[in-house]
Amino acid sequence: MLANTFDFGAYRGRFAPSPSGPLHFGSLVAALGSYLDAKAHNGSWLVRIEDIDIPRVVTGSDSLILSTLENYGLYWDGSIRYQSECLNHYQEVLNTLTNAKQVYACKCTRKEIKQHGGFYTGHCRDLELAFEQQALRLKQSLPTYQFNDLFKGNIIVESKFAEEDYIIKRRDGLFAYQLVVVLDDIEQQISHIVRGADLLFPTVRQISLYKLLGAKVPQFGHLPLAVAEPGFKLSKQNYAAAIDMDKPQQTLLAALNFLGLDTEAQLKSATVEEIIQWAVNTWQREHVPANDEIQLIPSDNSFTFKPL
Ligand code: GLU
Ligand code: ZN
């Protein structure tokens, strides 16, 4: 059952990569930012492999991600959670929500929703369609319109977005990220979620789900997203090579600069462990740039950054 009575005094952070490829500079920033915020607050830091989206899973990339984290001095607490091992739990919660009449099947295509203005306004809510081979949506009875971000302050979303009945199980039968991320963060008793700003707006859906489940809402903080061009996340095609496994120091220092830490010159010859220790001691949320995106511009063996 859902754990909603745990002690929230303790800081428990997490990094939740999708194993769709190796860690690149952007995912390193999310790993590092969540780690530093946890450790600077004497917290623990957990790692969860979000392998729910089976078609996107690349075999072996989970172990590659984990060994990269170790190489960069980012050691996790406790054991690794794999979403693929939690399907029974997700289904149980889905059944509970279904019995409570909170879930319905939807036959609308993406194209149809787009034609009707881009937001889903509950077309199939009362049609009582059979669940088989349809997407399942959660009735949005507790819309969240704003929240206070640890780095970016008050975030307000469009009300049409906040009020959408969003998909919790996809037509192809896979559980949707929006559902399982919350169920896992509740199960793992996560108190602080620090991640990339690509997930800034969906946070309101997640907060609504915590409330619906009667669980305590964690704190959210969104780090600027590393982009190759405005609006374009880093991908395997552009900067994946940035993660140097043999000489992680330089990339680590670049990632710290990206997060607003002014790395001192003497760190250039420090070990990975020394750099991480320095960063834990120096970390302050106020230093993190509040931008949604920062463009990486390669310059001999390193990067310069352009806040967007
Ligand atoms: N698995 C998601 C990703 O790699 C991150 C989910 C999260 O941090 O909430 O983009
Ligand atoms: Zn529909």
State how far the Cα of 4 lies from the Cα of 215, in Å rounded to an integer.
Answer: 5
Q: What is the pTM of this model?
A: 0.94
Tell me the CA–centroid distance for residue 16 and ligand 1, in Å: 5
Q: Which one of 32, 182, 184, 195 would you pick to mutate in the ligand 1 pocket, going by the greatest count of ligand atoms within 8 A of its CB?
A: 195
Ligand with the closest atom to the CA of 116: 2
Q: 12-307: which CATH topology? A: Rossmann fold (3.40.50)
Report d(CA 27, CA 212) in Å as an integer: 30
What string of pLDDT tens digits covers the 308 residues of the chain? 344 444 557 999 999 999 998 898 899 999 999 999 999 999 999 999 999 999 999 999 999 999 999 999 999 999 999 999 999 999 999 999 999 999 999 999 999 999 989 999 999 999 999 999 999 999 999 999 999 999 999 999 999 999 999 999 999 999 999 999 999 999 999 999 999 999 999 999 999 999 999 999 999 999 999 998 888 887 656 655 557 777 899 999 999 999 999 998 889 999 999 999 999 999 999 999 999 999 988 776 677 888 88
Instruction: Kindly list the domain boundaries of the chain, sorted by start residue.
Output: 12-307
Ligand 1 pocket residues where CB is under 6 Å: 16-18, 50, 181, 195, 199
Q: Which helix (H) or strand (E) holds 220?
A: strand 219-223
Best CA proximity match to 104, nearest among 24, 167, 173, 15: 167
